[in-house]
Amino acid sequence: MKKGTTVENTKTTTPEQQIENLIETIQKERRKGADAAFEQGKRFADLRELTASYEKDTKSGLSYHKSVLRTGYAWATAERLRNMYDTVTAAKIPADIYTVLADYGCDLAAKRTTTPAGIVHDLGDALSKLDLTSEQAIRVMVTKINGDYPLERKGKSLSTSLDTLAEVLTSIEQMPKSGQTEKMKKETQEAIVKTKKEMLLSLASVLAPFIGKDEKWAEGYVEAVADNPVLLDQRYQDAVKFAKSATFLTEGTADTSSEK
């Protein structure tokens, strides 16, 4: 055997090419994961339909809620998958677009002033051709959807995915304690922390240019408290208060002409 032959054959690709190959593989698996989540969501939708007639039957244990517990999924996760399926089906968009938008703080399944199908119809090719490898393109789309199609008002407050998770957590805490409910509680609490970080990052990213900062500053602003739930909640609440104070931008505009 000639020296050098084996060494040369083991280096079939450069480190750069290996990185590109791995990224491509991850992208493919992400799409598969989104499709798998969609299929699982369909199963939960079917399960809900099949168990509908047992909702008031406390003896059989075949209600939707009890059936979900038996699958091993946390209630919040099961409902997220089911809502994903319903939304993707109604809006006729790829599952991976839905999941990426949700990861960046834009849940199309949330109740908005326009239906998901209406949003997709309005945005047309811009949404269907969204470059999921471009963080900037995704954030621009998320900002547009959240801005142009706000969440439905619930009284004087906005119903958000965080509100939904809080309601789920309250419901879980009222259930009899067990290993399963403790697991559900932990997963829901983790989902609440994740959602707060995403919402705080979205707000910080929008406000950054107005205070002479950039995207890296926004990320650092969130990361500084990301591992401390108490500080994260405090910073999130402060951000919410600040955002609500922005109503001064619209209040009193009708009176400006009379002041002149």
Tell me how far apart the alpha carbons of residues 56 and 169 are, in angstroms, rounded to a whole number.
Answer: 23
Q: What is the pLDDT of residue 85?
A: 92
Q: What is the pLDDT of residue 42?
A: 93
In a domain, 123, yes or no: yes
In a domain, 14, yes or no: no
Distance from the Cα of residue 185 to its chain's centroid: 19
Tokens at 103, concatenated? 């990861």
Q: What is the pLDDT of residue 161?
A: 67
Distance from the Cα of residue 181 to its chain's centroid: 23
pLDDT string in tens for the chain (260-residue length): 444 444 444 456 788 888 888 988 888 887 888 888 899 999 999 999 998 888 776 677 788 888 888 898 888 888 889 988 999 998 888 888 888 888 888 888 888 888 888 998 888 888 878 888 888 888 889 888 888 888 775 444 434 567 777 777 777 776 667 777 788 888 888 888 888 888 888 888 877 777 777 878 888 888 888 888 888 888 888 877 776 665 544 444 444 444 43
In a domain, 237, yes or no: no
In a domain, 148, yes or no: yes
Tokens at 107, concatenated? 């849940």
Ordered alpha helix ranges (H), the chain: 5-10, 15-51, 64-71, 75-91, 95-103, 116-123, 125-128, 135-148, 161-173, 179-207, 215-223, 229-245, 256-259
3-state SS record for 92-124:
CCCHHHHHHHHHCCCCCCCCECCCHHHHHHHHC
Tell me how far apart the alpha carbons of residues 112 and 109 are, in angstroms, rounded to a whole number.
Answer: 8
| Owning domain of residue 62 | 30-159
In a domain, 178, yes or no: no
Which helix (H) or strand (E) is 158 found in, with range?
Answer: strand 157-158
The DSSP 8-state label assigned to residue 152 in this structure reads P
Count the domains in the chain: 1
The DSSP 8-state label assigned to residue 151 in this structure reads B
Q: What is the pLDDT of residue 6?
A: 44
Tell me how far apart the alpha carbons of residues 11 and 7 are, in angstroms, rounded to a whole number.
Answer: 7
List the Cα angle 126/97/193 in 5-degree steps.
Answer: 125
Tokens at 181, concatenated? 């409910």
Strands 153-154 and 157-158: antiparallel
Single pTM value for the model = 0.52
Q: What is the pLDDT of residue 1?
A: 46
State the residue for tokens 């991976």. Answer: 96
Q: What is the pLDDT of residue 257?
A: 41
In a domain, 208, yes or no: no
In a domain, 169, yes or no: no
In a domain, 172, yes or no: no
